[in-house]
Structure 1
């Protein structure tokens, strides 16, 4: 059915130079993994530097709100610009967009490292998001150009494993840098990665071109960017404020959804849409896309509260916390390639649904973590979680790319990466808001007797409670903060597990029978 809908599309020519074929295709994959390594590394590396940035002596004397937006400005721009990056790649060539994105990302990283104020850092982080949005769709599209169907699943599995490694390595690398250098080093580390990736891209990657360029749809690009921007902004603000009924939250959410509805109506009527929404007629395309979003919802939320558990409740340094998260990366690296072989034997539905149910079990297992849990059990939990996530993400990504016409691989890659980012934003915002609310309710009885403003400050987070305890010389409040945080984390982890179960159901239904709607 969708083949007929897509029949009018221009034929695509992938003019691969010799350097991108034969035995050199694997070095080409290494370049693409390295490019996305910088992007995913920057998703997590800043978290360990927040305390330093808040310091007036060692950092930028950033306020709490400024610290929140130093993270969110990157995520927001990254998420809303991904569609634009995919469309531009389909029109002008994915290697060209990759090189442009690397240049923007590298320059913005240098700008962030040298920022002299928190507002300047926030703007520089937004510019880094623009570069990331150009890089990510291009990497996956170039994998489709370099590898044939026989090897593409393995290549995508390696690509997915690289993202898992970067996510887990961020806190570790950031902690190691902060022990030796100033806070700007967590951004400056991107520059040599960009330089190597640029050199490799020019030598090894194909300069794919189209015989007939895909038409540019500026109205569609504008509507999708504005709509997604408003929705993601509302989600971020809701998580920051802990108040989802505020007009500052509801206004952007409802307005963004309205703009996205207009976007859908426009895209279904134009001759050359920025992204053909009729592709969602494929249950496999839709199921895989939604499954990716739900996976990253649970993963990003769990990484958020795991960091507070290790550094707050367990009193670990950022570097120690990073070391203890390494089993996740090991699991992802092992799970992704193994899943490619299992899918060939058993199919996407059974493999991915089992993997997501296993991941849900690991999120649920957080209810067993406490003050005295042996770290060997935590490492085992992280390893199994990584194995499950690696086995879930790689096949769904391959399923998305497998049903796409060649001239729309950039837009399809953008969907995949947008779903990851939007899922991550929702996971941190929703689960973070739930964590804060549950913590405040549980710790409130322990704050009785404190002055009103002091109690309100202490109620906001476990870190705030510990700060009040230190100033007022009340060690009992530290114990109360730990107990209440564990209660909140246990509750939040159950919600994350339920979302992962929902993802397992979605992918099992989408792939319940042999493909009949591939594109």
Structure 2
């Protein structure tokens, strides 16, 4: 009877190699679900990222109409917290929960958790659109449902990257992440345009617009997405979840209240409650780290930080998010509060036109993100991420150099280059970090990365506003007092208005209000009609605030520039070195498939031969070395026989 031969080789396999092959028998997502599944996963997760980011920025640009619709005055000190939580509540919730939801995805299925996120996001959008309260009650209602929407967003964000990493082969992940990133950045600017159009008609429409897409995405995800990764049957780290949530929430809440007035100060960093929240949050996070080092199934897999690409990739992303997180807010204030009124745009029209004039940044990102993602798959990510952040730092320097009343085409070129530079960084950075993760840790690893990013953005907004307020408060009171008295206002009235909290005036500009008109509340006695028209017109406040605003801009953008430089330096330490994987690539068909399987497990990427329970990273790397050595010995034996 003829002896059966191996389909891989005409020579009989050794028992060791045969048994090793048996361990790696799990088909890839493409083999299991067909070649079109990866594109289904990409299109659905891209839709999820698109509506999530649209909803984030659409609220940002529609806040003037929301505040008017629910009858809240942004210049009243008590309403500042409502404004902050409408803006930042979504980010705070996603920062706190995204890593926990990534772990749930690892345990119970990423597609299942992602689909739940789509459903929660859609339901919360409906309730946001049917607000029937007024005043502070309406604000609390909106903030509550924004928090629920953030829970849905956390499910989406924590599992979308992991779903893509499971669905795409390693040489296409950069492209997939690039397309996903394009949707995210495009959504953030598309939201500005859609919000600027819909909010003046009816502010409820800004939430309703995402509902049909959410319904489609929920049903589509339920019917088409499948769990192709390895599920981890582990217990939930409840103490880790509790301490992490308490610590991070305490710090982020302290940041939001630190930029609000306290007593006679323009900011609240000396508020005992703010200091207690900051210190207490740091202490609780230290306890969290101790817990994570001792529990069997930690929320944060601290062992992942032994991986150089994961560690430095996250440091680079953290620095980029801190440096760039508050940029959109500052640019909107710059355009809405100063530049657009100086060039004849009425305050009621500035939100829409601010979104339009920021489009070059979107175009730059749309150009570079998919290209850099695809090229980084072929030639590596290190230089894309390093050059991208270095170029971003240069654009911040350019924004400092131009005058407050800039030439728009110079401003547009700077924004275009800024978008290109962030596109060069974003996709390769995320693909590099995700490729460095073991297959059964992708959900928690992606959650950790998104947690750092969202927490950094909240921190960035707080720091940017603090620096802006510090710069404005140095010269703005004197400039306001002088300008008001010169136009006929009494010394007492001028002093009262000039000493109002700087943050209220800053937010009025941010929301597209004319703060002087709002503060005066009517035609003051003793002020001529001509002087009143000048005070409440389009020229007085923008020119008054230009010099103090320039000081704040310089401080904020210098800080951002330093962060981007530090991120660029961190990016130099990412990327894996050439090793056994490349050495083995030419070893021939006899063990080539096996080498591919073990190499895939060693770097944490799916392979056609990976089993249901893959080996640990260290074991897989050691086994890869054994296979390389076996292959070399086999070649040597063949040569001797020849």
Partner of 2:59: 46
Question: Aligned-pair distance for 1:102?
Answer: 1.0
Instruction: Map 1:394-409; keep pairs closer than 5 Å.
Output: 394-409=427-442
Change (3 A) 1:140 1:344: closer
Between the aligned partners of 1:409 and 1:12, the Cα distance in structure 2 is 20
Change (3 A) 1:341 1:95: closer
Deviations 1:346-365 (A, max 9, x none): 53322211110101111121
1:166 to 174, 179, 187: 187
Q: SS state of the match for residue 314, structure 1?
A: helix
Deviations 1:199-239 (A, max 9, x none): 32123322346465233222222222222222222222223
Partner of 1:120: 141
Partner of 1:93: 109
**Residues 95 and 205 in structure 1, CA contact (< 8 A), matched pair in contact too:** yes
Deviations 1:184-206 (A, max 9, x none): 21122221121121132123322
Question: Aligned-pair distance for 1:124?
Answer: 0.9
Between the aligned partners of 2:109 and 2:386, the Cα distance in structure 1 is 35
Q: Which runs of 4+ in 1 moved over 6 A?
A: 10-15
Between the aligned partners of 1:244 and 1:140, the Cα distance in structure 2 is 37
Between the aligned partners of 2:130 and 2:268, the Cα distance in structure 1 is 35
**Residues 480 and 498 in structure 2, CA contact (< 8 A), matched pair in contact too:** yes
Between the aligned partners of 2:156 and 2:70, the Cα distance in structure 1 is 30
Between the aligned partners of 2:35 and 2:508, the Cα distance in structure 1 is 57
Between the aligned partners of 2:203 and 2:409, the Cα distance in structure 1 is 31
Instruction: Map 1:304-319; keep pairs closer than 5 Å.
Output: 304-315=329-340, 316=345, 317-319=350-352
**Residues 60 and 118 in structure 1, CA contact (< 8 A), matched pair in contact too:** no
Partner of 1:246: 271
Q: Does 1:203 align with 2:223?
A: yes
**Structure 1 residues 377-386 or 336-345, which shifts more?**
336-345
Change (3 A) 1:152 1:345: closer
Deviations 1:71-122 (A, max 9, x none): 2222211110111111111111011111111111111111111122111111
Change (3 A) 1:99 1:13: farther
**Residues 90 and 409 in structure 1, CA contact (< 8 A), matched pair in contact too:** yes
Partner of 1:493: 557
**Residues 331 and 390 in structure 1, CA contact (< 8 A), matched pair in contact too:** yes
| Unpaired runs of at least 5, structure 2 | 1-22, 74-78, 262-266, 482-490, 525-531, 581-601, 604-616, 618-642
Partner of 1:384: 417
Q: Does 1:416 align with 2:432?
A: no
Q: SS state of the match for residue 214, structure 1?
A: coil
Question: Aligned-pair distance for 1:453?
Answer: 3.1
**Residues 354 and 504 in structure 1, CA contact (< 8 A), matched pair in contact too:** yes
**Residues 288 and 507 in structure 1, CA contact (< 8 A), matched pair in contact too:** yes
* Structure showing greater Rg: 2
Instruction: Map 1:319-398; keep pairs closer than 5 Å.
Output: 319-344=352-377, 347-398=380-431
Partner of 1:74: 90
**Structure 1 residues 291-300 or 408-417, which shifts more?**
291-300
Question: Aligned-pair distance for 1:35?
Answer: 0.6
| Unpaired runs of at least 5, structure 1 | 1-9
Instruction: Map 1:103-118; keep pairs closer than 5 Å.
Output: 103-115=119-131, 116=133, 117-118=138-139
Partner of 1:185: 205
**Residues 103 and 299 in structure 2, CA contact (< 8 A), matched pair in contact too:** yes
**Structure 1 residues 223-232 or 428-437, which shifts more?**
223-232
Between the aligned partners of 2:156 and 2:198, the Cα distance in structure 1 is 25
Change (3 A) 1:104 1:345: closer
Partner of 2:18: none
Q: SS state of the match for residue 370, structure 1?
A: coil
Question: Aligned-pair distance for 1:155?
Answer: 0.7
Between the aligned partners of 2:216 and 2:198, the Cα distance in structure 1 is 20
Partner of 2:547: 483
Deviations 1:419-445 (A, max 9, x none): 221111111100111101111112122
Partner of 2:174: 153
Question: Aligned-pair distance for 1:23?
Answer: 2.9
2:497 to 454, 461, 477: 454
Between the aligned partners of 1:329 and 1:20, the Cα distance in structure 2 is 34
Partner of 1:467: 515
The number of residues matched between the two structures is 507
2:290 to 265, 268, 274: 265
Change (3 A) 1:245 1:286: farther
